[in-house]
C-alpha cells in the first residue's frame, strides 16, 4: 500500500483538479453530480482541518440551493431533492451547518412524503430513482428526531409490502416479470432498508418474515454452474417456463456477488440465522478470489463498480469477521484503486470507464469524489464517527 503521505498528496491533487475542472454535472445531484462534492469537502475539512475545504463545501451547497430556486426537476435520492435534503440533514447532524436550514428541510419532508406515495403507486421502489431512496431519507430524518415514528412505520410498511410483491410475483408469475438482484435498483437495497427499519416497526415478526422471504428469493437465483463468473445475476427474467439470466456480472456496489454478500450478512445477523451468515461469508470469500481487474470485471477506480468500492466493501467484511483474507483484499484493492486512477488528464488521475473512451466524472458514485472518500477512510482508520458510507446504505 502507498504511504499516507502519498495518499494525502493524492487528495490534494483531487482538490486542485476539482477546483480547476469545468464541471457540467447537475448542481443538485447527490450521487452523480455536484452537491455530493460537499460531502467530500466536509471530510477533507474533518481530515485536514483547513477552512478552505469548509468554504468549498458551503459554496457547493449554495449553488445547489440556487438550482432548486429555479425549479425542482427531480425528487430522487440519486440526482434530485431527496439526495440534497439527505446531505443537508447529514451535515446538520455533524454540526457542520447550523439550524438555519431546518425550515427548508421540513418543507422537503412535506414534498417528499407526497412524492413517495406517488412512486409507490407506480411500483417504483428503486433506491437511486424511486421510493426506496426517499424512504432512506426519511429514516435518516427520523433518527435526527425530525419525523414522527408513525410516519416511518407507514413508509416502512409500504416498502415491506413492496418486497412481498416482488417475492409473490417471482413465485407465481402470471406473465413475464423481471427481478432485480442488485443494490442500486433491486432486492438487496430493500433487504438492507428493512434491516435498518426493523427495530422501529410495530410488526417486527412480519418484517422478519418479509426479510426471510426476500432472502430466500435471492438465494434461489444462485448459480450451480462451476463455470459461472459470478454466483448471482443482476437482473432475472421470470416466466412460467423458468428463469433467464446471465452470470457474468462485475463485482460492485450496484450489482454483483460482493454487495449480495453484504445484504445476506445483514439479514442473517438480524434473523440470527447462522446458516445464512455462513452463506454470506462463503460468497464474499468466493468474490475475493476474483482479485484482478480482469476477473472482477473492473475497469476504473469508482465507488459504484470499481476499485474503490471493492476496497471499501472488503474493509466492511474484515470488520464483520476479522478474517485476514478480507483485510488482504482491502489492501489489494486500495492498491488497484491507485493504479486505476493514473490518467494524466483525469481528476486526481481518475477517469470513468464509459464502455469506450474514459471520461472525467467528479461525483460520488461514479466519479473522483467517491474515490477520494475511500482514500480518506483509509487514512482515518476505524474512527467511530466515520460513517460517510451511510450515503451508500452501507453504514
Q: What is the C-alpha separation between 394 and 271, in angstroms, rounded?
A: 18
Contact 326, 347 (CB under 8 A): no
Q: Which residue has the cell 493514473?
A: 342
Three-state DSSP class for residue 236: strand
Task: Look at residues 217, 244, 234 and name the one whose alpha carbon lies nearest to residue 181.
Answer: 234
Task: Look at residues 360, 197, 89 and name the one whose alpha carbon lies nearest to residue 81.
Answer: 89
Q: For residue 50, is it left (φ>0), alpha (ψ between -120 and 50) or beta?
A: beta
Q: What is the C-alpha separation between 327 and 322, in angstroms, rounded?
A: 8
Q: What is the C-alpha separation between 370 and 31, in angstroms, rounded?
A: 9
Three-state DSSP class for residue 268: helix
Three-state DSSP class for residue 243: strand
Q: What is the C-alpha separation between 39 and 42, in angstroms, rounded?
A: 5
Backbone phi, psi, residue 244, to 5°: -135, 120
Give helix 51-69 / helix 4-20 axis angle, nearest 10°.
40
Q: Would the annotation count 198 as a binding residue?
A: no
Name the grid cell of 138.
Answer: 426519511
Q: Would the annotation count 47 as a binding residue?
A: no
Contact 339, 306 (CB under 8 A): no
In the chain, % helix, strand, coil (3-state, to 5) comes to 60, 5, 35
Name the grid cell of 325.
Answer: 483474507
Q: Would the annotation count 343 as a binding residue?
A: no
Task: Look at residues 95, 246, 161, 260 and name the one whose alpha carbon lies nearest to residue 153.
Answer: 161
Rounded (5°) CA angle 256-258-262: 120
Q: Is the dihedral of CA 255, 257, 260, 265 positive or negative?
A: negative
Annotated binding site: 254, 304-305
Annotated binding site for Zn(2+): 254, 304-305
Amino acid at each position: 500500500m502507498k504511504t499516507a503521505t502519498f495518499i494525502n498528496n493524492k487528495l490534494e491533487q483531487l482538490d486542485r483538479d476539482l477546483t480547476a475542472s469545468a464541471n457540467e454535472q447537475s448542481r443538485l445531484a447527490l450521487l452523480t453530480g455536484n452537491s455530493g462534492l460537499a460531502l467530500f469537502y466536509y471530510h477533507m475539512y474533518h481530515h485536514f482541518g483547513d477552512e478552505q475545504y469548509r468554504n468549498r463545501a458551503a459554496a457547493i451547497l449554495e449553488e445547489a440551493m440556487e438550482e432548486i430556486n429555479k425549479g425542482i426537476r427531480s425528487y430522487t435520492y440519486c440526482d434530485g431533492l431527496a439526495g440534497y435534503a439527505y446531505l443537508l440533514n447529514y451535515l446538520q447532524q455533524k454540526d457542520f451547518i447550523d439550524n438555519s436550514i431546518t425550515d427548508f428541510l421540513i418543507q422537503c419532508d412535506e414534498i417528499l412524503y407526497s412524492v413517495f406515495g406517488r412512486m409507490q403507486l407506480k411500483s417504483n421502489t428503486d433506491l437511486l430513482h424511486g421510493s426506496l431512496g426517499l424512504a432512506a431519507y426519511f429514516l435518516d430524518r427520523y433518527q435526527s428526531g425530525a419525523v414522527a415514528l408513525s410516519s416511518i412505520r407507514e413508509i416502512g410498511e409500504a416498502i415491506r409490502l413492496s418486497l412481498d410483491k416482488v417475492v409473490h410475483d417471482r413465485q407465481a408469475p402470471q406473465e413475464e416479470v423481471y427481478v432485480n438482484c442488485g443494490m442500486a435498483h433491486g432486492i438487496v437495497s430493500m433487504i438492507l432498508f428493512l434491516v435498518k427499519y426493523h427495530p422501529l416497526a410495530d410488526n417486527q415478526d412480519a418484517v422478519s418474515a418479509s426479510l426471510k422471504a426476500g432472502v430466500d428469493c435471492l438465494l434461489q437465483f444462485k448459480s450451480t454452474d462451476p463455470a459461472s463468473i459470478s454466483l448471482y445475476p443482476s437482473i432475472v427474467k421470470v416466466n412460467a417456463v423458468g428463469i433467464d439470466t446471465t452470470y457474468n456480472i462485475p463485482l460492485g456496489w450496484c450489482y454483483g456477488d460482493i454487495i449480495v454478500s453484504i445484504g445476506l450478512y445483514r439479514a442473517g445477523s438480524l434473523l440470527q440465522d447462522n446458516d445464512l451468515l455462513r452463506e454470506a461469508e462463503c460468497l464474499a470469500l468466493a468474490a475475493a478470489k476474483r482479485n484482478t481487474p480482469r476477473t472482477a470485471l473492473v475497469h476504473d477506480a469508482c465507488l459504484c463498480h470499481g476499485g474503490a468500492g471493492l476496497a471499501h466493501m472488503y474493509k466492511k467484511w474484515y470488520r464483520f469477521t476479522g478474517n485476514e483474507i478480507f483485510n488482504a483484499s482491502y489492501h489489494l484493492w486500495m492498491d488497484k484503486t491507485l493504479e486505476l486512477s493514473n490518467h494524466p488528464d483525469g481528476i486526481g488521475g481518475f477517469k470513468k470507464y464509459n464502455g469506450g473512451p474514459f471520461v472525467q466524472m467528479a461525483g460520488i458514485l461514479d466519479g473522483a469524489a467517491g474515490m477520494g472518500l475511500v482514500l480518506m477512510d483509509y487514512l482515518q482508520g476505524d474512527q467511530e464517527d466515520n460513517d460517510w458510507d451511510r450515503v451508500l446504505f452501507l453504514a
